[in-house]
Amino acid sequence: MKNYLFIVEKTATGFSAYAEDFETLPVGTTGTTMAELKKNILEAANLYLEHIGKPIITSEDITASLDLPQFFEYYKVINAKVLSSRIGINNTLLSQYVNGNKKPSEKQVQKILNGVRELGKELAEV
């Protein structure tokens, strides 16, 4: 079965996502949380696939990838240079991700998001 990539963006009300290959799978959706967004992605994709007579898919057939440049644009308060040293990613490389010059692997995205979450936890404890 084909794996479908969805690009995730932060919005004022939560998150939005759209299929990277919009010509093959013209699906987009929103959610107030990431869990809700992932549920809605699967539901929207399966509604479309069922409509065109294709087999439905499972959550294992979907990959959600955060749009890092858009994320850092939305959260301008996060200093990418300082974050890079906290999480052990080269400053220049993170800058290239943030500016959209390079696309990070899923592993790198998770490393960045884990660093942001850790920062959030620290701030919440203050």
Among 65, 80, 114, where does a domain finish? 65
- Domain count of the fold of the chain: 2
CB contact at 8 A, 34 and 15: yes
Are residues 45 and 60 both part of a single domain? Answer: yes
Q: Domain check: are 8 and 60 in the same one?
A: yes
Full domain range(s) for residue 88? 68-125
The CB-based long-range contact list for 103-106 (8 Å cut-off, 24+ gap) reads 104/68, 106/63, 106/65
Q: Are 16 and 6 in contact (CB under 8 A)?
A: no
8 phi/psi in degrees, rounded to 5 = -105, 135
Tens-of-pLDDT digits for all 126 residues of the chain? 689 999 999 999 999 999 999 999 999 999 999 899 999 999 999 999 999 999 999 999 999 988 999 989 888 899 999 999 999 999 999 999 999 999 898 889 889 989 999 999 998 998
